Amino acid sequence: MTAREHVTDAIVVGAGFAGLYQLIRLRDLGLDTVVLERAPQVGGTWYWNRYPGARCDITSLDYSYSFDAELQQEWEWSEKFATQPEILRYAEHVADRFDLNRDIRFGRAVTAARWEEQTQTWTVTVMPADRWGAPQDHSAGELYRAKYLILAVGNLSAAHLPDIAGIADFAGRSFHSAQWPEDGVDFTGRRVGIIGTGSTGIQIIPLVAEQAGHLTVFHRTPNFSLPAGNRPLHPEEVRERKADYPAYRERARHSFTGVPVPVPTRSVFEVTAQERERVFEEAWESGVYGALLASFTDLSTDADANELAAEFIRRKVRSLVEDPELAAVLEPRGNYFGTKRTCLDTGYYQTFNRPDTTLVDLRQEPLVRITRTGVATEGRHVELDDLIFATGFDAMTGSLLAIDPVGRGGLALSEAWREGPYTFLGLAAHDFPNMFFITGPGSPSVLSNMIVSIEQHVDWVTGFIERAERDGAPAMHPTEQAQREWMQTVHDEAAKTLYLHGNSWYLGANVPGKPRVFMPYVGGVGQYRDIAEREEADGYPNWERV
């Protein structure tokens, strides 16, 4: 490789909401910063996930930046839950408004990063990326060198394709939901199959069912899904929220999930059956993410309490699906409610009342292989024109380990994390000096309104760098002991809940061979912020120079 070399103060990888805000803040410090992004434009998640029905399940008035008063006043959301195109337009607007694109190198995949002991800098290897972000043309590589490396690569950015026999044999069109063609896909009149009924599949299924000639859903684990109750925003509610934004955002920052919803005060066992039903019903109807799980104090921690909510949802499924046999397949069982990410849907269960939609229960007839013309289960062969994989992500660590930074003493992140991710506050790792994660494993990240968590992490990292620059500090990393203690805290918090019993991607359970470690911090956004702020106020006692 003949590599050109560029030297800057800071390198940010990723131009999603994390990378964009990090660029703004590092510019504020006067640091020469470059952002490396494998996509051809900004947006991250909202650039890649263009499948039909893609939208947020945190309300748009919450899922937006708070750092700039004018930005949040001027931007107009149209719906309660914004669609992917609208969120992407918002990301583009932010990039234009703050003139960010001039410091972003698009179509560049970071393939390696190495800490150079002598110069105390990071050297990053970059390749031109193909349309799906994969590195290509190794002869055209470049090197970037900088004192600070910030990995804003996303928790849900490494698409996961399961290892199903014959997957390469399919001769029809196939799509992964997170690598959706920019021009969209026309399914009119076609025989379409979909594998995967997580949050993504549940959004895709109703819309593709409407368009396709016939839709076959290959269904393994039934998920808990609640109605989104999406609707246009009323001008009055927007006016009220905008008037209250400063105080509202502050409440969000100190809330449990990054959305300031009322905190439950009662155990589900303290109330009568009628009162319980009323509260569940109200939460079901609210279309607020997490409202049902947070309707009593003990639904996340007590198996019997959780079962009451789970049974409430199963009854709803039975009322929405006309055929009792299909309803039985769709009733969520096998995981506690809330331990896999709860879905919000628009007409998901009702789709199975359509005559042109078939549900195949893979627990009864396991998937055997994909063939040239369709999908074979133990019970049948389904002929298909198109096959959709809504099979999720190598979450939280996938994009970090794809880069696999090499830190002090030649230690690769993959080696340091052989038994699972190991970080201090999800912000940094011992032996990887001056390298930071935005919403890394060990922080609330995917259990929160991500924009609240992104802003908090970016502000924290910026404060750390500001102080290092001001004091002329040498390169720093968290101590081994602090990191060990923090990971114990992350585990202990999870052990107070039912999360450890779930079969979720939070635990790495969806990727064969991935260590089973509960990765996010479940103690809540507000509590986490207090801990991180204390670390800063105390002068970073858990960090050491290298």
Residue 347 engages ligand N01 in binding (rule: CB under 6 A): no
* C-beta of residue 441 within 8 angstroms of C-beta of residue 450: no
Residue 478 engages ligand N01 in binding (rule: CB under 6 A): no
Residues paired with 545 in a beta bridge: 476
Span of 15-23, 192-200, 243-251, 353-361 interacting with ligand N01 by CB under 6 A: 192-200
Residue 317 engages ligand N01 in binding (rule: CB under 6 A): no
Q: DSSP code of 226?
A: E
Please identify, using beta-carbon distances, which residue of 306 and 339 lies nearer to ligand N01.
339
Residue 441 engages ligand N01 in binding (rule: CB under 6 A): no
Please identify, using beta-carbon distances, which residue of 424 and 505 lies nearer to ligand N01.
505
> At closest approach, how far in Å is the CB of 56 from ligand FAD?
4
List the single partner that 392 binds among ligand FAD, ligand N01, none, CB under 5 to 8 Å by kind. Answer: ligand N01
Residue 221 engages ligand N01 in binding (rule: CB under 6 A): yes
Residue by residue, DSSP assigns 518-544 as: --S--S-HHHHHHHHHHHHHTT-TTEE
Instruction: Give the tokens for residue 327.
Output: 């309803």
Span of 294-302, 312-320, 385-393, 398-406 interacting with ligand N01 by CB under 6 A: 385-393
* C-beta of residue 325 within 8 angstroms of C-beta of residue 294: no
Tell which one of 36, 56, 438, 498 touches ligand N01 (CB under 6 A).
56
Which residues touch 404 (CB under 8 Å, ≥6 apart)?
112, 412, 413, 414
> At closest approach, how far in Å is the CB of 200 from ligand N01?
3
Residue by residue, DSSP assigns 94-147 as: HHHHTT-GGGEETTEEEEEEEEETTTTEEEEEEEEB-TTS-B--GGG-EEEEES
Tell which one of 14, 44, 141, 198 touches ligand N01 (CB under 6 A).
198
Tell me whether strands 367-370 and 374-377 are parallel, antiparallel or unpaired. Answer: antiparallel
* Three-state DSSP class for residue 375: strand
Residue 392 engages ligand N01 in binding (rule: CB under 6 A): yes
Tell which one of 339, 391, 449, 497 touches ligand N01 (CB under 6 A).
391
Q: Rule CB under 6 A: which of 503-532 touch ligand N01?
A: 505, 510
Sign for the pseudo-dihedral over CA of 14, 17, 18, 20: positive
Residue 201 engages ligand N01 in binding (rule: CB under 6 A): yes
Span of 11-19, 321-329, 391-399, 425-433 interacting with ligand N01 by CB under 6 A: 391-399
> At closest approach, how far in Å is the CB of 457 from ligand N01?
18
* C-beta of residue 142 within 8 angstroms of C-beta of residue 167: no
Span of 94-102, 123-131, 189-197, 314-322 interacting with ligand N01 by CB under 6 A: 189-197
Residue 149-188 contact track with ligand N01, rule CB under 6 A, x = bound: -------x-----x-x------------x-----------
List the single partner that 198 binds among ligand N01, ligand FAD, none, CB under 5 to 8 Å by kind. Answer: ligand N01
List the single partner that 367 binds among ligand FAD, ligand N01, none, CB under 5 to 8 Å by kind. Answer: ligand N01
List the single partner that 82 binds among ligand N01, ligand FAD, none, CB under 5 to 8 Å by kind. Answer: none
> At closest approach, how far in Å is the CB of 324 from ligand N01?
22
* CA distances in angstroms from 473 to 22, 23, 374, listed in the order given: 21, 21, 60
Q: DSSP code of 388?
A: E
List the single partner that 39 binds among ligand FAD, ligand N01, none, CB under 5 to 8 Å by kind. Answer: ligand FAD
* CA distances in angstroms from 268 to 296, 305, 319, listed in the order given: 5, 6, 23
* CA distances in angstroms from 1 to 115, 124, 143, 319, 467, listed in the order given: 20, 14, 10, 62, 37
Residue 399 engages ligand N01 in binding (rule: CB under 6 A): no
Tell which one of 12, 195, 209, 305 touches ligand N01 (CB under 6 A).
195
Please identify, using beta-carbon distances, which residue of 117 and 365 lies nearer to ligand N01.
365
> CB pairs under 8 A, 24+ apart, for 376-381?
377/218
* C-beta of residue 503 within 8 angstroms of C-beta of residue 220: no
Please identify, using beta-carbon distances, which residue of 330 and 454 lies nearer to ligand FAD.
454
Name the region of 396 (left: φ>0; alpha: ψ -120 to 50; beta: rest): left
Tell which one of 367, 376, 476, 546 touches ligand N01 (CB under 6 A).
367
Please identify, using beta-carbon distances, which residue of 133 and 392 lies nearer to ligand N01.
392
Number of residues that bind ligand N01 (CB under 6 A): 27
* C-beta of residue 206 within 8 angstroms of C-beta of residue 351: yes
Span of 110-118, 386-394, 402-410, 512-520 interacting with ligand N01 by CB under 6 A: 386-394
Please identify, using beta-carbon distances, which residue of 37 and 302 lies nearer to ligand FAD.
37
d(CA 227, CA 248): 25
* CA distances in angstroms from 342 to 128, 225, 227, 339, listed in the order given: 37, 6, 11, 8
List the single partner that 164 binds among ligand FAD, ligand N01, none, CB under 5 to 8 Å by kind. Answer: ligand N01
Please identify, using beta-carbon distances, which residue of 392 and 407 lies nearer to ligand N01.
392
d(CA 488, CA 478): 15
> At closest approach, how far in Å is the CB of 38 from ligand FAD?
4
Residue 57 engages ligand N01 in binding (rule: CB under 6 A): yes
* C-beta of residue 401 within 8 angstroms of C-beta of residue 386: no
Query: Which residues of the shown chain bind ligand FAD in the complex (CB under 6 A)?
Result: 13-19, 36-39, 44-45, 49, 54, 56-58, 63, 109-110, 133, 152-157, 200, 399, 402-403, 438-439, 449-450, 454
* Three-state DSSP class for residue 224: coil
Nearest to 338 by CA among 304, 314, 310, 315: 310
Longest dimension (CA), the chain: 73
Residue 196 engages ligand N01 in binding (rule: CB under 6 A): yes
Residues paired with 382 in a beta bridge: 375
| Residues contributing to the site for ligand N01 (CB under 6 A) | 56-57, 156, 162, 164, 177, 195-201, 203, 220-221, 341, 344, 362, 367, 390-393, 446, 505, 510
